[in-house]
Amino acid sequence: MVTAGAGRAAVRLGALSACALAAHTAVNLAYLRSPDPDAPPVTDDVTVLIPARDEAAHIEATVRSVLAQTGVPRLSIVVLDDGSTDDTASIVEALAAADDRVRLVRGGDSPLPAGWLGKPWACQRLGLEATGSVLVFVDADVVLHPPALRAAVGTLRERRLSLVSPYPRQLSGSALERLVQPIVTWSWAATMPLRWAENSTRPSLSAANGQFLVIDAGAYRAVDGHAAVRAEVIEDVALMRAIKASGRRAATVDGSRLAQCRMYEGAAAVVDGYAKSLWSAFGGPAGSVAVNGLLLATYVLPAVAAVAARDARTRRWGRVGYVAGVTSRALVARRTGERVLPDALAQPASIAAFAVLNAISWRRHLSRRNTWKGRPVTMQEAA
């Protein structure tokens, strides 16, 4: 049984943690690098690699946005049609017929090799097709703004990095999207020490988004490309960790002025999308319980106490914690071009929804019901 004193102490500790993270968010954002859209033209050969599976609704806009890049005179685009059942391939074929910088590669009709998940296998095949000295992986539902590549490659070369992950602006439409999607960007912008992370080769200091990844080709091949992360559900973070484990540097940067993406459209897609991967995000069941418990204690408990606690002092501490959580969320949203108000006011509900999605993910994983685009999402042993 939890005593009243223990409950008050828990609320106070949660509020203080929220205040500390709000302060860290403010400091962190001062060090968050934004690639320069006015960077000099790129001198590298740049190959943009786009894995696409049933992306007829998005692929044309994505490819056209790459073709419209400025300051990248030696640009090529390779699209892998990964076993699509819609018109993805024919759309890309028409684009390739009109512009010889675009090439379509067909694949995905055969079963996945033992030990591979679908996204890493698609990216690995694309990597084998690439000829550039810089490889850029772009998801098929991402739209790049015209200076995106010159800015991102400029940061890669200027900072002497091996990998840059420019986090695109995350678009959301439905209520559940608006509740959950901002947590993706907020989580790393608020918690990861960005200045230390860029200068460190410690793999644990990694946050990446496979929607838009810029990689030195030599570094990519030195770590064996996506073969190094073949069975990883969250392959983008795993790839950054592999780069850092090899002694190379990588950085997460603000890509909100360079690219945008609506990751999931509608509540059902949000649930399915997060369910496929959250079970693997925190190193196992114990890590998931610990991380979600800390988030709930820091952001949900104070908010509940602010309105439901019996004594005035606990309610005041709860209000302090709630305001700190909203402040952290609002600071990140303002910096990355997402909705600030009223969405930031829902930070406790966002954290609670995230915890529920974690639970759904684990339930589906343990019952082997996790799939994505018709393929199972399970960790497999390499052959």
Instruction: Write phi, then psi, for 53 (nearest 5 degrees).
Output: -135, 110
Rg of the chain in Å (alpha carbons): 21
In a domain, 268, yes or no: no
Kindly state whether residues 188 and 318 are assigned to the same domain: no
Contact 317, 305 (CB under 8 A): yes
**pLDDT value of position 2:** 55
pLDDT averaged over 10-residue windows placed end to end, the chain, 383 residues: 76 97 96 95 98 96 98 98 94 98 89 91 96 97 98 97 97 94 94 92 94 98 97 95 97 96 93 92 93 97 95 96 98 94 96 96 88 66 32
Q: Are strands 102-107 and 75-82 parallel, antiparallel or unpaired?
A: parallel
Q: How far apart are CA 28 and CA 44, in angstroms?
A: 31
Residues 89 and 225 in one domain: yes
Q: Is residue 159 part of a domain?
A: yes
Where residue 217 sits, what CATH number does that domain have?
3.90.550.10
- Give yes or no: residues 68 and 25 share one domain: no
Same domain (yes/no): 247, 278: no
Query: What φ, ψ does residue 313 adopt, rounded to 5°?
Result: -65, -45
Domain boundary (232, 263, 294) is at 263
Residue 35 lies in a domain: no
Shared domain check, 213 and 95 = yes
C-alpha 265/C-alpha 257 separation (Å) is: 21
In a domain, 351, yes or no: yes
Count the domains in the chain. 2
Answer yes or no: do 111 and 238 share one domain: yes
pLDDT at 380: 43
How much is the pTM?
A: 0.93
For residue 69, give every residue at least 6 positions away whose Cβ sits within 8 Å of its Cβ, in sequence order, or none.
75, 144, 146, 147, 148, 149, 150
Cα separation, 146 vs 148, in Å, equals: 6
Q: State the residue range of the domain holding 360.
A: 4-30+273-376
Distance between start and end Cα atoms, the chain: 50
Residues paired with residue 163 on neighbouring β-strands, in sequence order: 215, 250
Among 263, 293, 324, residue at a domain's last position: 263
Residue 257 domain-assigned (yes or no): yes
Same domain, 176 and 221: yes
The whole-angstrom distance between residue 230's C-alpha and the CA centroid of its chain comes to 18
Tell me: do 239 and 351 sit in the same domain.
no
Q: Is residue 94 part of a domain?
A: yes
Last residue of a domain, which of 263, 297, 326? 263
Q: Are residues 251 and 341 in the same domain?
A: no
> 96 and 216 in one domain?
yes
Cβ-Cβ contacts under 8 Å for 14 (sequence gap 6 or more):
297, 298, 299, 301, 302, 321
Task: Tell me if 319 is assigned to some domain.
Answer: yes
pLDDT value, residue 378: 65
> Domain for residue 37, yes or no?
no
Q: Do 259 and 211 meet the contact criterion of CB atoms below 8 Å apart?
A: yes
249 and 178 co-located in one domain? yes
**Residue pair 68/61 in contact by the 8 Å Cβ criterion:** no
What is the per-residue pLDDT for 383?
29
238/333 same-domain check:
no
Cα 295 from Cα 75, distance rounded (Å): 43
Which of these, 242, 248, 304, 279, lies nearest to 355 by C-alpha position? 279
